[in-house]
């Protein structure tokens, strides 16, 4: 696979709760990470005292983060609404030449910043709130 443009990794939000997704505007950096907790089943019978893990057990999570500048009033307002109303809407993450990850996420952090001689910026953090789906390109 050839190198991909980072700007093509998109975070999209269900704007109205009807499956109408729109890219969150102004993002300059985006990231998604997947994690799985381990369940240790090591015992005195474990070969050589090496740790053993239980296959398929543990909690799986995904986290999304992004940072950028204000570009679109609609998606900025939707992100604020999701946070303050405690909603858990569907999001999509488009990973170029890989696929789309979709599912419910909660906005866990919404940060705003600005410097005297620069643009106002924001950071957004999301945590998975249910099973995720993946559709390959």
In this predicted structure, the answer to whether residue 91 has a pLDDT above a threshold of 90 is yes
d(CA 137, CA 41): 37
Domain ranges for the chain, please list them: 6-136
How many whole angstroms from its chain centre is CA 98? Answer: 16
pLDDT in tens, 118-130: 888 899 999 999 9
CATH number of 6-136: 2.30.110
Question: What is the token pair recorded at 31?
Answer: 């990231």
In this predicted structure, the answer to whether residue 59 has a pLDDT above a threshold of 70 is yes
- Residue 1 pLDDT grade (very low, low, confident, very high; cuts 50, 70, 90): low
């Amino acid at each position: 696979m050839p190198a991909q443009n980072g700007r093509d990794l998109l975070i999209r939000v269900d704007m109205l709760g009807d499956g109408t997704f729109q890219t969150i505007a102004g993002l300059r950096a985006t990231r998604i990470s997947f994690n799985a907790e381990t369940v240790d089943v090591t015992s005195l019978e474990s070969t050589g005292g090496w740790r053993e893990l239980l296959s398929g057990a543990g909690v799986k999570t995904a986290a999304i983060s992004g940072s950028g500048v204000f570009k679109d009033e609609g998606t900025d307002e939707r992100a604020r609404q999701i946070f303050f109303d405690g909603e858990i809407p569907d999001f999509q993450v488009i990973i170029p030449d890989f696929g789309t990850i979709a599912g419910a996420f909660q906005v866990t952090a919404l940060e705003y910043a600005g410097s005297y001689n620069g643009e106002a910026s924001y950071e957004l953090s999301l945590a998975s709130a249910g099973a995720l789906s993946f559709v390959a390109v």
